[in-house]
Chains A and B, each alone.
Chain A
Amino acid sequence: ILNVEQSPQSLHVQEGDSTNFTCSFPSSNFYALHWYRWETAKSPEALFVMTLNGDEKKKGRISATLNTKEGYSYLYIKGSQPEDSATYLCARGGTSYGKLTFGQGTILTVHP
């Protein structure tokens, strides 16, 4: 993998469903993996920053895991709510300085 890739590109779920999406990234020279949530007309908001292989982080109903050896991270949302509707971006830091390489994002729509 040469770039940061996210799948699926878009996802429609019903309220109450649990869902997950994937971020794949080059595993060489890995430094950090970020997840952001970007609601329409608002600022992208940081969810997690992960650096260690095997890291798992949780914030409310949202959690994320990291596998730096194989180059992927999963984001899970348990019991999706309409307010979870947003674009979820992941970004890889491949050097010590703050450059992030973003994926295209997964657009999540949660239907009431």
Chain B
Amino acid sequence: DAMVIQNPRYQVTQFGKPVTLSCSQTLNHNVMYWYQQKSSQAPKLLFHYYDKDFNNEADTPDNFQSRRPNTSFCFLDIRSPGLGDAAMYLCATSLRQESSYEQYFGPGTRLTVT
């Protein structure tokens, strides 16, 4: 089945130690998104790629970076995780860069910072 896969499902990192979260998709969608959801809050868009074009949300901290080496893969890099970065990180894809298009989500990576 075509799907969005996130690895790992659970990630524990130390304060200040760089961490990378991975997302892959078999849907061949040209748009990929990264969302952050902190406990009991709404998922919040961090950035998205439309093909190779990177679009950063204005309030996304510089500590968060992303790479998309090809259509299938997208990575979220947190350069120096703080305790406040502990959250669920969701990857999503869509066929087109329009908000009327359905987004397909992975199961998320839960990040713990110790």
Contacts and interface: CB of A to CB of B under 8 A. Distances in A.
Interface of A: 4, 31-32, 34, 36, 41-46, 49, 51, 89, 91, 93-105
Interface of A is mostly: loop
Given A43-B107, A98-B31, A93 B43 contact: no
B99 A100 contact: yes
A93 B100 contact: yes
Contacts of A32: 98-100
A91 B35 CA distance: 13
B97 interface: yes
B105 A44 contact: yes
Contacts of B41: 104
A34 B43 CA distance: 13
Contacts, number: 72
Sorting the interface of chain B by its residue count into under 10, 10 to 19, 20 to 34 or 35 or more gives 20 to 34
B40 A46 contact: no
Among B31, B57, B107, max chain A CB count under 10 A is at B107
Given A43-B106, A46-B104, A97 B99 contact: yes
Contacts of A4: 42
B90 interface: yes
Contacts of B98: 31-32, 93, 96-98
